[in-house]
Structure 1
Amino acid sequence: MNSPITVSPQVAFRQERAAASATSTEAEQVLPPESAAANALGSSVGVSGLRAEGVEEGYGPVRRRLSAKSSPMLLRPQGMLPDDFSDMMQEVDSRGTKREASTEPAETASSKRAAPTPDASPEADESLCVQANAVDLFSSAASFETLVINHVNKRAAKEVPATGNPLDVQPLVDEAKLIEWNTIESRHAGRIVFGREAEDVRKRFGHRIMGSRFVCTWKQEEDAPRRMKARWCLQGHLDPDLRTKALAGDLQSPTLSQVGRSMLFQILASNKWTLRLGDIKGAFLASGALPAQYKPLYATLPQGGIPGIPSDALIEVLGHVYGLNDAPSAWQRTLDRALHEAGFERSRLDPCLYFLRDEGRLTGVYGVHVDDCATGGVGEKYEQALEMLKGRFEFRKWRLGDGDFCGARYRQNPQTFEITMTQESFVDKIRPLRMTRRRAQERHSPLTDEEVKCLRAINGSLNWLSSQSRPDLATQVSFSQQSFPKPTVNDALAANNAVRRARQHRQLSITFRSIPLPGLAVLCHSDAAYANGRDGATQAGYVIGFTDRSVDEDKVTAWSPAFWKSYRLPRVVSSTLSAEAQALATASGMAEWTLLLLSEAIDGPCHLRSFWSVAAKRKSVFVTDCKSLFDHLMSRSAPTLDEKRTALDIVILRESLQKTQGSLRWVPTDRMLADAMTKESADALDMLRACLREGSYQISDESTILRWRSDEKERRKLLSQSKVSTPADDVHCEPSC
């Protein structure tokens, strides 16, 4: 793509105004030349890549000319889509616009932290025209409902009413209802009760009649046209046996954990097995008949009825249909039995992860999330097991090497067998909370009830995204969640900035590298930022990934992120050492769990009492950037700290290192991947994103790094005394990630 031409703000504004006037006369009324929007561009901003009608390219990057002691340079932020540019222009900080004097108090350090600058280099922070102060220049007089109506699009498919639709839609809805009911009858999950029998049921079992409804949506499947889908659901809160099922534990059903899912895809990539994705049609209906203790059970016809069925009829529930509270649990037990019959063994650490072995050797792995599955393997035994499952359940089309699973898109490289996970489509559905310019200036004002609802929705979407595929958003999301129960406008602006960051880096992905299975190791980064949160709280975080055991030999090795977390320390700490010790103690627990799961998958099950004698054979490396903590843990003497809780954390960490036979390494802060989990630092986020894209990491020798820094310190002293430049060839440079 050719570099866009930078024009002056005045010329750019005239060009944009002329293009807008050709299609809409209202644009001239909204954006006159003397309006505040013209001033908002500033005297040093150039607009490039103006979009013309019929051109597919969106708005190009916004560039600002910088000048400092050195020669001028052009800052070129990452390219953006037209929607990004539209949102940005509605949230631009109009520095040249006259504003009313604010009566709000001065910002504290905590409030400034809540609305960070966009991630860029420190020199570029002030030059970005996208500021955290989200203001709407074009609809300052609009009502609140108008401003927030599009704050977030949570569903890809909207529910269609069961009745009263347009003439071209209602026949499709009725046809979908018939298809759904025919499926239920064919699975012996329900039957219609007519006439006198229905009247008798109402008299004798009126207390066992539940309500029901049809949920109709447009379904867009891969490589298929859009179709109407109807699902008959019971109203589970009206279940007469709800209390009994709760006491019996029938309302609980496991799902695949993030660590288990990462382990699944890492095993596939390491063994170079083809990824297979499938989903079972009508999974709950395949769970068999209702238990005798929950019979009889009836339901009323849904609103709008079933085509061809009289309105006074009832439905007798015979199987586990959607809406029954124990249906997920019943389905999980049914699938578990089928997998065991096919030869799979369930993991003791993750009940939704299964392994297949042939003479003690791992030949297949199977992960299940409700009715979706991801699997891979090799050999005759694996193929036979898969055929048994296909004969037992009705699978839809199997997808090989490319498909959706658990809300993300997975693609496998056919040459390297590496698996890449992205959530680009989900990112595009998240929208920021719109605010007027006047409202955005009330930085310390509490949010209204409606604004709080919008912020909760944004946090929910961002939390799902950051926990699944975007570790670079974890810190901002954690800070935003900590603003409750009394968030302010400043917190909403910070959440908007997180949405903007998510969309700027929408293509960022998680890649599971093809690391040879015998050398597969666990790498744990842990960090803490002392008292950088609200009310003096300390933010901590860790990043756990898979790598090769040669990482402990200071080599550049492949790296696959497996699990990460940014959180507030539950215990108040009094020093950096105390914070780092508590954070590493928490991270080591998750690293131990990951190591045990890895050992179970590769080495097979063993007795829990002797688990660590086997699991410790797998390499584990713990990384910290706290030199004092590193020295305490490497020392053989007992901790002599006055803070005894910190001393206890150190004892726990020593025991963890001994149990796992893990290595402890110290790295400088600029090499700490978990630094991005504790603070909103542009450099830390750049480091994390670079490793995510490159898929590699290196730990340099501690003594070498310290020697470099000592030499550099002496060099600066000599330069300050002699004021003579040192040749570039003599400068020591630390290797990059």
Structure 2
Amino acid sequence: MPAATGSSARPPPSALVPGTDIVVTPDLLPPVPEDDEGLLDAEPGQEAPLEPPQNPRTGEGAQALGLEAPLEPRQNPRTGEGAPGTDANMDRQASTVSSVEPEPMPSTPLVAPAPAPSEQPHVPPAPINMFRDPDRLDGYRPSRGSRPESSRPYFAEALSWEFPPVSHTVREQRLRRMVDGEEEYEPDTTDEEDYESMFADLTPADIFLTGKAVRSEIKLKDLNPEEKKKFEASMAKEWASWEKFNAVEVLTPDQVAQLPGDVRIIGTRWVHTDKNQKQRLLALHVRGKTGKSKEQVLKEYPFAAKSRLVVQGCQEDSRDIRSDSPTASLLAFNLLCAVAVMNGWEVAASDASTAYLQSQGISRLLVLRAPRPPPPGLGPNDLLRAKGSIYGTRDAGRQWWKKLYRSLLDHGWRLSRIEAAFFILADGPRLLGVMISHVDDLYSAGEGKAYEDTLTKLEGELHLTIKRGAFRFCGKNIKQVDGEIFIDQMDAIEGIDYMVLPTDRRKNVNSPLTEPEKTAFRGLIGQMGWVTRQSRPDLLVNVSLAAQSVSSPKVSDVVRLNRAVKMLKDTSEAKWCFRKSDLKLKDAVAFVFADSSFANVEGSKSQCGYVAGLTSPDIVNGGPVPIYVVEAFSGSIKRVCRSTLAAEANGFLSGAEAAEYIRSLLLEINHPDVTVRDLDQHYVKKKIACFTDARSLEQTLNKDAGQPQDKRVRILIAQAREMIGENNYDDDAPGFATWVDTSQMLADVLTKENCDREPLLQALAQGVWQLEPSDAARERKLLIRAGRHSRKAAKQVRAEDG
């Protein structure tokens, strides 16, 4: 029997926007059935005409059967109720079937069959009609009113299309499980009456925050009217920023019709947060130490509404989008602090306002839909074209970096050829300032009119907010007083929580962790690792050893890491300081303290560590000298070492490489007008001051006669010698390494747990160190030696008696 034709024929479902070749965002929602357009467009209270009955088996319609008379209302096969008995409150008529036992409806094919030659092809609506109904542009189903639930049992009948398909229901349930069963992913709205019908159904096309970010996001439906008004103002402020930087343009109906057929429409969404939430919680947590009352904390950190309009960049095809952009390292940050103190410069932190909106120009067509609720002046169905990379796009960070680089270059700054995101301002051979960038945060130091003029111009061009004296930069509290810089992370340390285990679990120290416990263990390692790298290197080894056990962690690993958390909290006020001294930048030399522990890690691996920075050449004389620590490291040696000498040589080489890098940066800063190649070939490099507490390594490095038996160690020694500098035999002083007592070895605490952390904390806090052991250090060493001898003697006595 021929297929039905005419107005009653069902056009095949499509994954394209009707009237165009625009692809709907794939796999998010099923396509909208086009045969229900009349019901969607019907006026309120107007009854939609009944569709002619269709044979559920053959698919023949009324026209094919020659029926032209109006159809009788269909009856319910179980109750006998017809159309007149339909509930008036329902916005659709009740589904009906014939009195004959129905057959199952054939499922709609994913790809419609080709029409018969005699069949009239379906004519798509005009582009202007498509624009009037843009609910189908981005994968969202049309809004539908609420419908009372039916208590009738299931029948094999043609259900109303407003029932969500199985794919929609499954995705909805998965999203509910993602947020622990709470409907926190419903779209935000500030006017429930205006948007109730629009947001009646959950829309899986939305993109949601995951992980810890969910905790900080605020849902407008959970707020009181006063707080909602604050977020209305913050949304208006955010949209004003978009308009200020001309980030997007609203597409007209003609522009929508001219879009390419393969364009993909990308969603946007609001992200609402309390800007002071984290600081307020931390301040409340430590108010016992600060002495502030709850009222004072709430007054200092009030509720601050912040709204960010972001692009759902995960919907883009990222194969041809380059997203890499450099950021300054921790070494560059500490080096800038040391340079500023030695030159007597003031440091400043700058934050670029709405940095990702400032990038102009984009090489691809990026079409966006308006968020829900839409910003002022926009409708929920408006489409936007991005004029640059915006928050959420994959290349937003890179586009901002390119703009920042061009701006700094125009104002006389030069990017370091060695360190990423490290800029130098110079007038010929004279250094005027240094600067580092970390995304949209800048940290700089300098002097003179040229330096201040560049900051003033950048402040206006990049919309910077400049802070001096006391401020936060990349999670660190920085304070400069009388030319000295003090860095701490007390609030971040207090925010770290112990990993609590039940008492019965703690007793089984060799018991492996469960999957949830592994997740919590990895999270605690991440928190501790960030703080220890940034400001507390005295506990780096504890985090390193915990990270090495993460493949098969045990309860004992958690207990040891919790012990490190306690030590960190007990000394949360410790600071990393850069003190004033008589040392000038041009006189400074690179130094390194390197140490290793042989086979003290699981798998017979060895742990090494080093402390590197800048100091005076007089440090080898043994007396107190200024010291500026710029890098500390603790990690396992990847190669399994065969002896203590091999472990010490591997650790020493790692430290020498770090000191060589610092020396190269120092040489570039002192000679900003010379290329790196010329610096390496034509300039005299000051010898690195290297220190070890291993006598065997010191003698192997400095003696001209004799070679170790291990051939691998010979290669390591040769590499270290070449890196440190050539021995010119002007005197009989150590040519490559200097031996120091273990009590003065700053890196000893980076190689094993339960070491004395005081030497490294003292060097960081006071900015002064000496190689000659102090009287207190000598006494402490004698006590340790005496305890060791007493334990050895007691062991021998027990062996003789046994």
TM-score, length basis structure 2: 0.64
Equivalent in the alignment of 1:446? 512
Equivalent in the alignment of 1:664? 737
Using the alignment, how far apart are the partners of 2:726 and 2:473 within structure 1? 35
Cα distance change, pair 156–410 in 1 and its aligned pair in 2 (3 A): farther
Using the alignment, how far apart are the partners of 1:154 and 1:323 within structure 2? 18
Using the alignment, how far apart are the partners of 2:377 and 2:360 within structure 1? 27
> Which string of whole-angstrom CA distances, capped at 9 and with x for unpartnered residues, describes residues 522-551 of structure 1?
220101000111122111111112222221
Equivalent in the alignment of 1:432? 498
Using the alignment, how far apart are the partners of 1:498 and 1:303 within structure 2? 46
Q: How does 1:92-491 map to 2 (within 5 A)?
A: 158-161=216-219, 163=221, 165-193=223-251, 196=253, 200=257, 204-205=260-261, 207-220=263-276, 225-240=302-317, 242-245=318-321, 250-291=322-363, 294=364, 296-307=365-376, 309-396=378-465, 398-414=466-482, 417-491=483-557
Is this contact kept in 1: 2:417–2:676, CA < 8 A?
A: no
Equivalent in the alignment of 1:694? 766
Is this contact kept in 1: 2:687–2:724, CA < 8 A?
A: no
User: Deviation at 1:189?
Assistant: 0.7
Larger relative contact order, structure 1 or 2 (CA cutoff 8 Å, min sep 6): 1
- Give the letter aligned to residue 520 of structure 1: A
Equivalent in the alignment of 1:495? 561
- Give the letter aligned to residue 239 of structure 1: E
Is this contact kept in 2: 1:615–1:660, CA < 8 A?
A: no
Cα distance change, pair 357–330 in 1 and its aligned pair in 2 (3 A): same
Is this contact kept in 1: 2:579–2:766, CA < 8 A?
A: no
User: Deviation at 1:227?
Assistant: 1.8
- Give the letter aligned to residue 434 of structure 2: V
- Give the letter aligned to residue 637 of structure 2: L
Equivalent in the alignment of 1:539? 607
User: Deviation at 1:165?
Assistant: 3.4
User: Deviation at 1:459?
Assistant: 0.6
Using the alignment, how far apart are the partners of 2:727 and 2:417 within structure 1? 19
User: Deviation at 1:376?
Assistant: 1.9
RMSD after superposition: 3.0
Match of 2:722 among 645, 655, 669: 655
Is this contact kept in 1: 2:270–2:309, CA < 8 A?
A: yes
Equivalent in the alignment of 2:5? none
User: Deviation at 1:600?
Assistant: 0.7
User: Deviation at 1:164?
Assistant: 5.1
Equivalent in the alignment of 1:723? none
Cα distance change, pair 669–700 in 1 and its aligned pair in 2 (3 A): same
Counterpart of 2:760 in 1: which secondary structure? Answer: helix
Using the alignment, how far apart are the partners of 2:674 and 2:704 within structure 1? 32
Cα distance change, pair 226–566 in 1 and its aligned pair in 2 (3 A): same
User: Deviation at 1:455?
Assistant: 0.8
- Give the letter aligned to residue 681 of structure 1: N
Compare 275-284 and 608-617 and name the one that shifted more. 608-617
Is this contact kept in 1: 2:725–2:736, CA < 8 A?
A: no
Cα distance change, pair 427–205 in 1 and its aligned pair in 2 (3 A): farther
Higher helix share: 1
Equivalent in the alignment of 2:621? 553
Using the alignment, how far apart are the partners of 1:618 and 1:251 within structure 2? 39
Equivalent in the alignment of 1:594? 662
> Which string of whole-angstrom CA distances, capped at 9 and with x for unpartnered residues, describes residues 3-26 of structure 1?
xxxxxxxxxxxxxxxxxxxxxxxx
Using the alignment, how far apart are the partners of 1:265 and 1:160 within structure 2? 37
Using the alignment, how far apart are the partners of 2:213 and 2:532 within structure 1? 18
- Give the letter aligned to residue 320 of structure 2: T
User: Deviation at 1:603?
Assistant: 2.1
Using the alignment, how far apart are the partners of 2:609 and 2:637 within structure 1? 9
Is this contact kept in 1: 2:591–2:689, CA < 8 A?
A: yes
Using the alignment, how far apart are the partners of 2:766 and 2:414 within structure 1? 35
User: Deviation at 1:388?
Assistant: 2.1
Using the alignment, how far apart are the partners of 2:325 and 2:678 within structure 1? 29
Using the alignment, how far apart are the partners of 1:340 and 1:237 within structure 2? 33
Using the alignment, how far apart are the partners of 2:334 and 2:630 within structure 1? 5
Q: How many residues align?
A: 546
Using the alignment, how far apart are the partners of 1:155 and 1:670 within structure 2? 45
- The structure having more radius of gyration, on CA atoms, is 2
User: Deviation at 1:614?
Assistant: 6.4
Counterpart of 1:558 in 2: which secondary structure? Answer: strand
| Percent of residue pairs identical | 28
Is this contact kept in 2: 1:549–1:619, CA < 8 A?
A: no
Cα distance change, pair 404–395 in 1 and its aligned pair in 2 (3 A): same
Using the alignment, how far apart are the partners of 2:380 and 2:677 within structure 1? 62
Equivalent in the alignment of 1:673? 746
User: Deviation at 1:170?
Assistant: 2.1
Cα distance change, pair 631–382 in 1 and its aligned pair in 2 (3 A): same
Is this contact kept in 2: 1:163–1:304, CA < 8 A?
A: no
Q: Given the alignment of the two structures, is residue 505 of structure 1 paired with residue 565 of structure 2, yes or no?
A: no
Cα distance change, pair 618–385 in 1 and its aligned pair in 2 (3 A): farther
Using the alignment, how far apart are the partners of 1:185 and 1:435 within structure 2? 52
Using the alignment, how far apart are the partners of 2:449 and 2:215 within structure 1? 41
Using the alignment, how far apart are the partners of 2:758 and 2:682 within structure 1? 37
Is this contact kept in 2: 1:366–1:376, CA < 8 A?
A: yes
Cα distance change, pair 253–453 in 1 and its aligned pair in 2 (3 A): same
Cα distance change, pair 308–389 in 1 and its aligned pair in 2 (3 A): closer
Using the alignment, how far apart are the partners of 1:156 and 1:629 within structure 2? 52
> Which string of whole-angstrom CA distances, capped at 9 and with x for unpartnered residues, describes residues 579-598 of structure 1?
00011111111110011011
Using the alignment, how far apart are the partners of 2:215 and 2:727 within structure 1? 47
> Which string of whole-angstrom CA distances, capped at 9 and with x for unpartnered residues, describes residues 689-712 of structure 1?
2222222111239xxx99xx99x9
Is this contact kept in 1: 2:606–2:640, CA < 8 A?
A: yes
Cα distance change, pair 157–448 in 1 and its aligned pair in 2 (3 A): closer
Using the alignment, how far apart are the partners of 2:409 and 2:392 within structure 1? 27
Using the alignment, how far apart are the partners of 2:470 and 2:213 within structure 1? 23
Cα distance change, pair 197–480 in 1 and its aligned pair in 2 (3 A): farther
Using the alignment, how far apart are the partners of 1:209 and 1:642 within structure 2? 68
User: Deviation at 1:384?
Assistant: 2.0
Using the alignment, how far apart are the partners of 2:692 and 2:681 within structure 1? 25
User: Deviation at 1:370?
Assistant: 1.1
- Give the letter aligned to residue 677 of structure 1: L
Using the alignment, how far apart are the partners of 1:605 and 1:464 within structure 2? 36
Using the alignment, how far apart are the partners of 1:633 and 1:344 within structure 2? 42
Is this contact kept in 2: 1:162–1:303, CA < 8 A?
A: no
User: Deviation at 1:467?
Assistant: 0.8
Is this contact kept in 2: 1:520–1:547, CA < 8 A?
A: yes
User: Deviation at 1:206?
Assistant: 6.2
Using the alignment, how far apart are the partners of 1:553 and 1:603 within structure 2? 28
User: Deviation at 1:356?
Assistant: 1.2
Is this contact kept in 2: 1:616–1:659, CA < 8 A?
A: no
Counterpart of 1:277 in 2: which secondary structure? Answer: strand
* Structure 2 portions without partners, runs of 5+: 1-179, 181-210, 280-299, 729-734, 790-802
Cα distance change, pair 401–619 in 1 and its aligned pair in 2 (3 A): farther
Using the alignment, how far apart are the partners of 1:646 and 1:351 within structure 2? 33
Counterpart of 2:358 in 1: which secondary structure? Answer: helix
- Give the letter aligned to residue 191 of structure 1: E
Using the alignment, how far apart are the partners of 2:648 and 2:678 within structure 1? 31
Using the alignment, how far apart are the partners of 1:156 and 1:696 within structure 2? 45
